[in-house]
Amino acid sequence: MLEPLDLKEIDQLIEMAIREDIGGGDVTTDVLVPEWQTARGEVMAKETGVVAGLPVASRVYQQINKKVSFSPNVEEGARVLPGRVLAEVSGPARGILAGERVALNFIQRLSGIATLTALFVEKIKDYHAKIYDTRKTVPGWRSLEKYAVRVGGGLNHRMGLYDQVLIKDNHLMALEAGKALAKGVRLAREKAPQWMLIEVEVKTPEELEEAIAAKPDIILLDNMTVEEIAKAAKSIRQTHPLHPPMVEVSGGVTLENVEAIARTGVDRISVGALTHSAKALDISLKM
């Protein structure tokens, strides 16, 4: 079951978006449309995709004018074809028009992320590996964008720097040379909360050997070829046959190579493109 979106958490973002777009008022609508005018509109998909963000759009209209009714015709995560009516909007015409772009911006962006995520998930559906996102999100949009990843069938990596240890090369530069990775894992075990996963990033065979010896919870293979990934995953599991660390892959993952990566038997494939390169889904509002 999809974890629900905490709408209260994003109220500030919605308020900012409304203020950014409407400012002191919708001049065009105010001079052309009578205050008493009511209207009805349809939110329609213009291309195939996975829908996300309908609850956010509804929240937008509630903040602009509580008399505007936003009624979804499909569920979050629905796969739709061009021409499908996603929701109906009715009520004061001024409110509908004023909220049009803000509501569509949320739906289009989040549906684009859900759609791209679903394509990656579909590619590896027959394998053990799962698709994860990254922290490469638009500032302020992280909870929303990671929600859209879940709508598309993906999983969330850490939400921020506060909920998981991930030791990268830049962290190790702060430690003395030689066995820095092992020291990093040891310090994390001693000082981080016991419930936190400890993950280490490796780029070379030498770093992999050190990471295997350090026994973190997850070993992240960064920017390796498929052949290197397969060899590394085999080495990790041969060294720790009973309780091997989880194996994650990141860097250079595309729709073209993700199945080959999953075929190596890794556990997690993290894809920054889910959030930093997703194309907005084409959706319109027709009055």
Q: What are residue 77's phi and psi, to 5 degrees?
A: 90, 0
DSSP string for 6-75: -GGGGHHHHHHHHHHHHTT--HHHHHHS-TT-EEEEEEEESS-EE---HHHHHHHHHHH-TT-EEEESS-
- Three-class SS of residue 87? strand
Residue position matching structure tokens 């000082």:
191
Q: Looking at the annotation, which residues are catalytic? A: 101, 136, 168, 201, 222
Q: Residue 14 and residue 21: Cα distance in Å, rounded?
A: 11
Chain-centroid distance, C-alpha 19: 25
Q: Residue 77 and residue 147: Cα distance in Å, rounded?
A: 11
Return the bridge partners of 79, or none: 50
Q: Residue 122 and residue 118: Cα distance in Å, rounded?
A: 6
β-strand pairing of 69-72 with 85-92? antiparallel
Residue position matching structure tokens 């030689």:
178
